[in-house]
Structure 1
């Protein structure tokens, strides 16, 4: 039903385009549009049997990413701390996509990514099952809710360890494999808050800003190694991220924010990530107009952005 609605909407757009611009404009646009579709299908076919490692794969966006890439015929390595949930995702993949050609049973890798000093051997063994690693999607992360002045430094460190250092450490384990095979793609799931910082998200925004800088630098340094780097900046996604967020004293936040509740579906964001990989985009922002406008304002009119954030902080503080 949903696919039929999308098809109908597509034809409505084409008809509107025709009425506005006429055949001389609409026909070339249609040719270009269908050419892009064919190119995308060809690239999806090329993904078959590619080895894709996904962190944070036990739920939310990570689980949606696993379904999206497994459906393309990829060989999936599922990484997260909860082995039982990883097994559930593995079984769901096998049972849901039985008709997908050239599928391979997913590999389950229970791993605490914050245990940086002890993960190299386990990750290397998982990669050697298929003998290569083509795509790494660094998705695992944790959110934060709290005031700067009341946040323990231990919380800042834990957020940075989970969202930044673990991604960097895992990428550095994977990179030698990619360099040896002379190809690869590393995707970092950041956030709009990696581009702009908002009140009461200091530790989270700081970790995502750091991630953005690392990807930009690494992409530049390894430009001639045939390894692609994509940073993805989603807006709010309807997952349990806010439920599991840490507060200033290290406790679990335990609430579903309204913005999170009204956020994008994980499946939609996963499809956008797939498209960014197919197009080998360096950066993609998946967010509403207001979030994208805020990024532009922060870049071009920083004083205005600071004033807006001050107003927002005051309003949020009053509503607590």
Structure 2
């Protein structure tokens, strides 16, 4: 089982939710952390809650500012002299019918949920290849494996992550670089949700509000990292999202007939 002690881990989306919970758990296991998001005050709060705040650096980062990301990666490497693990975790959700979703919203979701991950990955890849070691942990979603009503833009961005990082894993295996793709179900987090016209929704769906607590999700993620698991569902053992994954894989015809009702958010 992989030890996390003294591993240098860079986490995006670290100011709340899964990112915050992961930071606290990784610090408790002795990891050295670089925490990134746009909200500096919240990053400071998360740092103060870590077991070893003296081994935590804050690196403010706006994932929507694609022109700044390559330079941010160089800064991150310099903070501890190297990086062992990149946890891609920033992002947004989306809720609207395709017919009511502007093309600009599709592009915004894809830029944040997909292209920001790719830019940072490509910026870190030479560093990992030179060291012949490295680890990319990618927060996708159950929506990266299925598609449901009112989630088309979000599902598309998450499906793209699976294709990209599955291909990357095959390419960098020879350098000892690992890739784990996480497919969380409903997790109780304050994730931003964008509507079809680009405005942000103030309320979360019933499924998110009743989702798995972020600290429990972080524990499942830590185990996946320690076992260097290729891909893992994160969520409740008994839940509709796990059932959806099972039916989609083994009974795709039934899934297609059920999903128009099953997938509609409450």
Q: TM-score, normalised by structure 1?
A: 0.79
Match of 2:208 among 250, 260, 271: 260
Matches within 5 A, 1:103-142: 104-142=54-92
Question: What residue is the counterpart of 2:14 in the other structure?
Answer: 57
Find the counterpart in structure 1 of residue 234 from structure 2: 286
SS at match of 1:196: coil
Aligned positions of 1:186-205 closer than 5 A: 186-205=136-155
Q: Distance in 1 between matches of 2:135 and 2:117?
A: 14
Where relative contact order (Cα < 8 A, 6+ residues apart) is larger, the structure is 2
> Which secondary structure state, in structure 2, belongs to the residue aligned with residue 224 of structure 1?
helix
4+ residue runs of structure 1 moved beyond 4 angstroms? none
Report the Cα offset of residue 256 of structure 1: 2.4
* Aligned-pair CA distance for 1:279: 0.4
Unaligned runs of at least 5 residues, structure 2: none
Q: Does 1:221 align with 2:164?
A: no
* Secondary structure, counterpart of 1:229 in structure 2: strand
Determine the structure 1 residue equivalent to 2:160.
Answer: 210
After TM superposition, list the pairs within 5 Å mapping 1:1-320 onto structure 2: 40=1, 43=2, 46-93=3-50, 97=51, 104-241=54-191, 244-287=192-235, 288-289=237-238, 290-312=240-262
Instruction: Give the secondary structure class of the aligned counterpart of 2:14.
Output: coil
Asked if structure 1 preserves the Cα contact closer than 8 Å seen for 2:221 and 2:234, the reply is: no
| Conserved 8 A contact 2:186-2:241 | no
User: Retained in 2: the 8 A contact 1:138–1:187?
Assistant: yes
Alpha-carbon shift at residue 301 of structure 1 (Å): 2.6
Could you say what secondary structure the match of 2:159 adopts? helix
CA RMSD of aligned residues (A): 1.6
Q: Which has the larger radius of gyration?
A: 1
TM-score by length of 2: 0.94
1:183–1:226 CA contact under 8 A, matched in 2:
yes
Q: Which has the higher helix share?
A: 1
CA deviations over 1:27-50 (Å, ceiling 9, x no partner): xxxxxxxxxxxxx5xx4xx32111
Deviation string, structure 1 residues 9-31 (Cα, Å, up to 9, x no partner): xxxxxxxxxxxxxxxxxxxxxxx
- Deviations 1:207-239 (CA, angstroms, capped at 9, x unpaired): 100111111111111121100000001111111
Once residues 173 and 115 of structure 1 are traced to their aligned partners in structure 2, the CA distance between those partners, rounded to angstroms, is 15
**DSSP-derived class of the 2:15 partner:** coil
8 Å contact kept, 2:141–2:183: yes
Q: Distance in 1 between matches of 2:166 and 2:207?
A: 29
CA distance in 2, matches of 1:307, 1:299: 14
| Aligned partners of 2:148 and 2:260 also within 8 Å | no
> Is the Cα–Cα contact under 8 Å of residues 74 and 104 in structure 1 kept in the other structure?
no
1:154 Cα deviation from its structure 2 partner: 0.4
Aligned mates of 1:66, 1:50 — CA distance in 2: 12
Give the 3-state SS of the residue equivalent to 1:78 in structure 2.
Answer: strand
Q: Distance in 1 between matches of 2:160 and 2:108?
A: 14
Which range moves more in the overlay, 228-237 or 80-89?
80-89
Q: Which runs of 5+ in 1 are unaligned?
A: 1-39
Contact 1:219 1:229 in 2 (8 A): yes
Secondary structure of the residue aligned to 2:138 is: strand
Q: For residues 72 and 260 of structure 2, what CA distance do their matches in structure 1 show?
A: 46
